[in-house]
Structure 1
Amino acid sequence: MRSTGPPNGREPSPRRISAKAAVCGMFIAANFMAIMDTTIVNVALPALGRDFGVQPSGLGSVNVGYLVAMAVFVPVSGWLGDRFGTRPTALTALLLFTVASGLCATAGSLPALTGYRVVQGVGGGLLAPVGMTMMLRAFPVAERLRAQKYVMLPTAVAPALGPVLGGWLVDTVSWHWVFLVNLPVGVAALLFGLRTLPDFPGPGAPRFDVLGFVLAGGGPAAVLYALTRASDGGWGSGRVLVPLAGGVVLLALWVPWELRAGHPLIDLRIVEDRLFRTTQLALLPMGAAFMGVLYLYPQLLQGALDYDALRSGLATFPEALGMLTATHLVPRLHDRVGASRLMVAGGAGAALVVAFLAVGAGGSPAFTLYPAMYLLGCSVGVLFTGGQHAAFVTVPSSRTAGATTLLTMQRQLAAAFGVALAATLARAPADGDAVDAYRTGLLGMAALSVCAAVLASRVGDRRVRDAYPADTARPAHDESVRPEPAPDHG
């Protein structure tokens, strides 16, 4: 009888993790850290000021350095991924971010911490677009809606978890742990990625566009710097107007240069894709409104309802649960309702919830705030999930790096603009009512949500349906139907 044992007496090697699972794991861990670091540090600023002997107004460089470094290096992420491969680029960025987090925890002065935060921002600026590029190349069009629940996880949870976790760490241990918390996650993600992450090579990268990098990196960085300063110094101050004008000029020069360049750093002709363009226009005001609400709402709770920092963070967290719920609902509703209708409903729902928070500012019963934030998360999540899927339906694999780079740049600028506008609208005069000021700011965010709903109506459900390749199955919303795992290239 022929033996049924393994050949050569060796046990078969265990089945390796699929390429899709590897990309999802890396994307969640890396993007979660990068996004959470934009909010977790805020609650540590008073403790940092006490340790370094610096007034709170002088600590802006800690966050500004991180955000500006991200803005500078986001544009080059696509070129690096196409030139050296997505796997080496993602792992190098993750290593840089993790090492810089450890250095931040050891900083003994404000200049040292600012410098380490800049290095951390370089890694963070590369992680998000390269990770999303890998996701788009790993999952075919018909499976991307299901993958959206993984893409949206960091976006949903990280901004809300940052203040809660940061407040708890500062109160129970020290501000150093706001940065040290990244180390175990970063090391685990690096080991996981080295063992399992495949490479998704692009079409190859041409000669590096130096002038394009200066314009594409300098323009958004200057605008972002101005927006982060506007909430403190006002729009009329020189430290806001000068970088804002300079950034706008750089961006105005960047567009014609990239369109004429033989080897552009970012192929801006991707915006000629009508579906990609209209979807991005709808995501822009919704991203601004969402971050503006997350900025104002905790201040309203602490200023008008006497919540402490930890309790206000916990009261904000239902928003994350709502967004996670939306990522499970959209794949099931997409075929029946349509992407455009879902996005319109999400924008309109967000506008109604934010208007409710504004009208009841300071007077709504506490028990109504938790479900309101949950519904806000559901509404924003529906628009984001449907919009991100629709945006890339017609984008070919060779152009995903440029498209994800533009999406990341748009998100950064939208978030900064939303916070700056919310802070400006909510600034109360010396003899004014703070609650009325918060109400004005929230109503402004509700207006932005209405704009998102109106722009989403221009996406068009038929355009999304017709964009699917003829040989591509429609998005599956039956969780029992699971696609075959992609071959492991790692």
Structure 2
Amino acid sequence: MRRLEYKWLVATTFVFGLVMQILDLTVLNVALATLGREFDADPGTLQWVLTGYMVSLAVFIPASGWLSDRFGSKRTFQLAVITFTAASVLCGLATNIEMLIAARVLQGIGGGMLVPVGQAMLYRAFPPYERAKASAVLIIPTTVAPALGPLLGGFLVDFASWRWIFFLNVPVGSLALLFTVLFLREEIQDRPGRFDLPGFVLAGAGLAILLVALDRGAQDGWGGAHVWGSLIAAAGLVAALIWRELAVDEPMLDLRLLRDRIFASGNMVLLCATGGMFGVFFLLPLYLQTLRGLSALEAGIVLMPQALGMVATSQVTSRLYPRVGPRRLLLSGLAISGAVSLSLWFVALSTPVWVVACLTFLMGVGMGTTMIPLGAASFARIGAPDMGRATSLFNVSRQVATAAGVAVLATVLVSRTRAEIADLGATASAAARAQAQLDAYHTSFLAALGFAVLGIIVASFIRDTDAAPSMRRGGGSGEATAREPAGVG
């Protein structure tokens, strides 16, 4: 019997870990109301079930690259899986809201290491010219898990217990740990450098405060002193971080990697594409449930075609990538996503839900056409020694983009809803109020189109020649790094 190649063992292991993390996040959203009743928690306290996780995630993503370089990627990934799984058990056993929040913070520590380290192992296992295949592998957990999460969460909450949304992670985490122990090789870099404590503090604190500020601004409005104070503090910490990391020889977050033109462009496209896509998928469930009267389960079914669109596109895109290159694929994917956002402007209160389902399918096509070349091209010139730091930086961009996209679209929705309702007056009918809310959603979808347009502008400057190592065997130095002149422009 033919032995499975090592790169596919790495991919399978990472998929298990990624499915566990994404499922946990999407399943939990459905159970928040139940948790509030169970622990008699007010919305402000309940919010920390999400915020506590987000903060610890933000602190440990920047450190994950150094940890894997210093202690080994296999050992660090094992620690991440064990931490996340054990914390899931503690969440399921929680007897009060304080215990649940503490366990969620512990979960975030594991999650902050799990994705960057797993991605680094994946891109080291696949040679540069096969990284489009590696990116296609990631489509499985990043599409199927978000689609199944709300459905599975609703089923468990309604027919079993909210505790099972956390216990669900145990078998998946066990499989990830088993594969890690049995099949993965240890990778320790020769010169990981000393631990950059000031960089760790500045990166963790700056990113955590920024994400919390974006979250609170979207929920509470941007006029509050606590929101602006947090944004100013985050800006100061990030500025200090940039100065620190460019001044030291062994930084925690290696910003010098952004000297590589294709890696820098990839991060900018990631900010635009992720912000717009996550913003749209924040709005659509709200539209379906608040304006169309669908249940959470029904809304999840309508949104499921998005996963089908990504899966259907992934194999085609990974095969086209070596021939077409990243630039045209990125432009096509972002254009499709932008067209869907524009089409949502025409969605009405009477639009058949199957039309919305078709649009989510097309959004999935756009995401698949964007994310596969983005992942392959961004790391085209990143060599194995820098891969851990590069994936940490890439995942920092992803977290900021997700929070910013949701914050921007939520802010537009709230502000336009208030304005539209105020214009109607107190005597307006229910139908008029519903139409006013729909108009606010239309404006928010146009904001998502803005993200796509910005992404198209950035992607238009990408050169396929910069991504040559990821397009074909012998297309360039697979071990080139951002410190080499070839990648600087």
Partners of 1:83 and 1:345 lie apart in 2 by: 40
Partners of 2:376 and 2:350 lie apart in 1 by: 39
1:43 aligned onto 2:30: yes
Considering only aligned residues, what root-mean-square deviation do their CA atoms show, in Å?
Answer: 1.9
| TM-score, structure 1 as length reference | 0.91
Q: Tell me the equivalent position of 1:435.
A: 438
Q: Tell me the equivalent position of 1:123.
A: 110
1:225 aligned onto 2:212: yes
| Structure ranking higher in helix proportion | 2
Once the two structures are aligned, what percentage of the paired residues are identical?
A: 39
Partners of 1:473 and 1:361 lie apart in 2 by: 51
Q: Tell me the equivalent position of 2:447.
A: 444
Q: From 226, 230, 233, give the equivalent of 1:243.
A: 230
Q: Deviations over 1:219-273 (max 9, x none)?
A: 1111011111122111121232222211111111001111111221122110000
Task: Give, as a single letter, the amino acid of the residue that structure 1 aligns with 2:390.
Answer: A
Q: Tell me the equivalent position of 2:288.
A: 301
Q: Tell me the equivalent position of 2:91.
A: 104
Q: Deviations over 1:24-77 (max 9, x none)?
A: 111101112222323221110110111111233431000000011100000110
Does the CA contact (< 8 Å) of 2:129 and 2:473 recur in 1? no
Partners of 1:138 and 1:421 lie apart in 2 by: 37
Does the CA contact (< 8 Å) of 1:142 and 1:473 recur in 2? no
Map residues 3-402 of structure 1 onto 2, 5 A cutoff.
Answer: 17-402=4-389
Q: Secondary structure at the match of 1:40?
A: helix
Q: Secondary structure at the match of 1:235?
A: coil
Partners of 1:469 and 1:263 lie apart in 2 by: 32
Query: Unpaired runs of 5+ in structure 2?
Result: 423-432, 479-489
Q: Deviations over 1:281-315 (max 9, x none)?
A: 11111100111111100010111211111010111
Partners of 2:116 and 2:255 lie apart in 1 by: 16
Task: Give, as a single letter, the amino acid of the residue that structure 1 aligns with 2:306.
Answer: E
Pairwise CA distance, 1:146: 1.5
Q: Secondary structure at the match of 2:26?
A: coil
Does the CA contact (< 8 Å) of 1:258 and 1:264 recur in 2? yes
Query: Unpaired runs of 5+ in structure 1?
Result: 1-13, 476-490
Does the CA contact (< 8 Å) of 1:361 and 1:439 recur in 2? no
Q: Secondary structure at the match of 2:217?
A: helix
Task: Give, as a single letter, the amino acid of the residue that structure 2 aligns with 1:441.
Answer: S
Greater alpha carbon shift after TM alignment, 132-141 vs 365-374: 365-374
Q: Secondary structure at the match of 2:185?
A: coil
Q: Tell me the equivalent position of 1:11.
A: none
Partners of 2:395 and 2:441 lie apart in 1 by: 29
Task: Give, as a single letter, the amino acid of the residue that structure 2 aligns with 1:451.
Answer: L
| TM-score, structure 2 as length reference | 0.91
Task: Give, as a single letter, the amino acid of the residue that structure 2 aligns with 1:146.
Answer: K
Q: From 377, 401, 423, give the equivalent of 1:414.
A: 401
Q: Secondary structure at the match of 1:402?
A: helix
Partners of 1:396 and 1:193 lie apart in 2 by: 23
Pairwise CA distance, 1:395: 1.1
Greater alpha carbon shift after TM alignment, 146-155 vs 122-131: 146-155
Distance 1:392 1:167, change over 3 A: same
Q: Tell me the equivalent position of 1:480.
A: none
Partners of 1:467 and 1:367 lie apart in 2 by: 38
Q: Deviations over 1:414-459 (max 9, x none)?
A: 0011111111111111546211111111111112112112211111
Greater alpha carbon shift after TM alignment, 425-434 vs 226-235: 425-434
Task: Give, as a single letter, the amino acid of the residue that structure 2 aligns with 1:319.
Answer: Q
Partners of 2:8 and 2:218 lie apart in 1 by: 41
Distance 1:474 1:155, change over 3 A: farther
Pairwise CA distance, 1:341: 0.7
Q: Secondary structure at the match of 1:41?
A: helix
Partners of 1:49 and 1:176 lie apart in 2 by: 13
Partners of 1:239 and 1:317 lie apart in 2 by: 37
Greater alpha carbon shift after TM alignment, 39-48 vs 14-23: 14-23
Task: Give, as a single letter, the amino acid of the residue that structure 1 aligns with 2:224.
Answer: S
Pairwise CA distance, 1:473: 9.1
Partners of 1:159 and 1:151 lie apart in 2 by: 13
Does the CA contact (< 8 Å) of 2:31 and 2:153 recur in 1? yes
Distance 1:464 1:49, change over 3 A: same
Q: Tell me the equivalent position of 2:391.
A: 404
Distance 1:370 1:469, change over 3 A: closer
Does the CA contact (< 8 Å) of 1:52 and 1:110 recur in 2? yes
Corresponding residue pairs, total = 462
Partners of 1:190 and 1:20 lie apart in 2 by: 17
Partners of 2:222 and 2:102 lie apart in 1 by: 27
